[in-house]
Amino acid sequence: MKNVKPEFNRIAIKVGSNVITQSDGSLNTGRMLRLVEDIAILSKQGIEVILISSGAVAAGRNDVAPSKRTSIISARQIWAATGQVKLMANYQFLFGKYGIPAGQLLATKEGFRDRLHYLNMKNCLSAMLENKVLPIVNENDTISITELMFTDNDELSGMISSMMDCGSLIILSNVDGIYKGVPENDSSELIREIVGESQEAMKYISPSSSGFGRGGMLTKYSIAREMASEGIHVYIANGTRDSIITDIVRGKEVPYTHFAASTVKKSGVKKWLSHSREFTKGGAYINKGAQEALLDDKAVSLLMIGVSKIEGSFKKGDIIRILDEKGRQIGLGKSQYDSKKAEQYIGEKRKKPLILYDYLLINDKL
C-alpha cells in the first residue's frame, strides 16, 4: 500500500457486536472473515493493528440458555465465559489463514486505574505488536459487573488507543457515521468531518443504542471527541461495508465521520490521569498561593505547604482531587503520601511534594 499517512502507522480498530453478529445473535463468520482479510492486508504492509472486538456476550447468549433460577448477572457472566472463547476461536482461525497469530487481552476498568496494571497491559500489547502477534482486546465481562464496567467497548477502545499512542482509531458499527437527521432517512446528510470543539453534531444524535451492543452513537461521539483532543484521528464508519478499513487507510472517498486530531500532545502519564477522573479516592484543599502557582504556566508540583485540608481516605499512589478553597475541583494527581500522613503534614514545609508535577493534571491546562 503506497503513501499511507503516518497517522495510520498504528491503528486501533473497534468492532461492535452489531457488525459481527446476525439478527439471531450468532456470530456472522462471513463478516468476520471480511474484516480479518482487510486487517491482514494492513498487517502485511507493516501497519500495526490492535483490534477491540465485542460480541462475546451475544455469541454466548445464542448457545446457552441458563435456568430460570440464574440471575441476569450470572447469565451474562456465563454468556461472556462461553462466548469469548468462541469469538477468539473464530478470530484465531481466520487470522491463521493469513499466517497471522492472534492473541487475546481481556481488560477491566480497574486495570486502568492502577498505574502498574496499566503499564503491564501496555507492555503486553507492545510486546505482541513487536512480535507480530495481532492483539484482540475485549472487556473481561465475566468479572466486570455494573459499576466496574466500561460504559461500553467504545470507551475501552478509546483508552486502549490512548494508552498505545495509536495515530488513528476506527470505530465500526452498522451505520456509516453521524448523520444530520435519522440515518434511515434518505434525505439525511452524513457529517464528513468534525473539527475541534464544535457541539454542532450533538443535536443530531439519538441517545439510544441499537441491537446487541451497549454503546450508542452518543458515547461514540463523546469518546471520539476526547480522543481527537488527545491527538488521535477518529473515524466512525460502517463495518458491514466490504473493505471499509483499507479504504479509509487508502484515503478513498467512502462514507464515514472523521474527527480531526488536535495537534496538542499529552504525556503518557497525563493521558493516564485524564482517563482516571472517576477513580479519585479523596482530595486535598489548597490555599490561594498554591492555586495561583498551579494555574501558572510554569511546571510546579503541589507542596504540603499549599495544602489546607485533606478529605477522604487514600493510599500512597492513589489518584486524588485537588480542590480550591471553595471546594471546586481544579485538577487531580497521584498522591505521594497516604491520607493519614498527608493530614499530619498539612501546611508544613516539606521537600517531598504531595503531588509531583509529572503526576499532576490541572483542568485549565488540559
Residues binding ligand GLU (CB under 6 A) = 17, 54-58, 138-139, 141, 152-153, 213-215
Least distance to ligand GLU, CB of residue 152, Å: 3
Least distance to ligand GLU, CB of residue 300, Å: 40
Least distance to ligand GLU, CB of residue 144, Å: 8
Q: Which of 145, 146, 164, 131 is nearest to 275 (CA)?
A: 164
Least distance to ligand GLU, CB of residue 147, Å: 15
Number of CB atoms found within 10 A of residue 281's CB:
17
Least distance to ligand GLU, CB of residue 129, Å: 22
C-alpha cell at 143: 468479572
Least distance to ligand GLU, CB of residue 181, Å: 25
In the complex with ligand GLU, which residue's Cβ is closer, 135 or 213? 213
In the complex with ligand GLU, which residue's Cβ is closer, 214 or 334? 214
DSSP 184-237: TSTTPEEP-EE-TT--GGGGG--S---TT-S--HHHHHHHHHHHHHTT-EEEEE
DSSP 99-116: T--EEEEEE-HHHHHSHH
Three-state DSSP class for 46? coil
CA 107 to chain centre: 11
Q: Phi and psi for 175 in degrees, rounded to 5? A: -125, 160
CA gap 191, 232 in Å, rounded: 18
CA gap 235, 245 in Å, rounded: 10
Least distance to ligand GLU, CB of residue 226, Å: 16
Find all residues with CB under 8 Å of 85, minimum gap 6, and list them. Answer: none
Only one residue has cell 458515547, namely 219
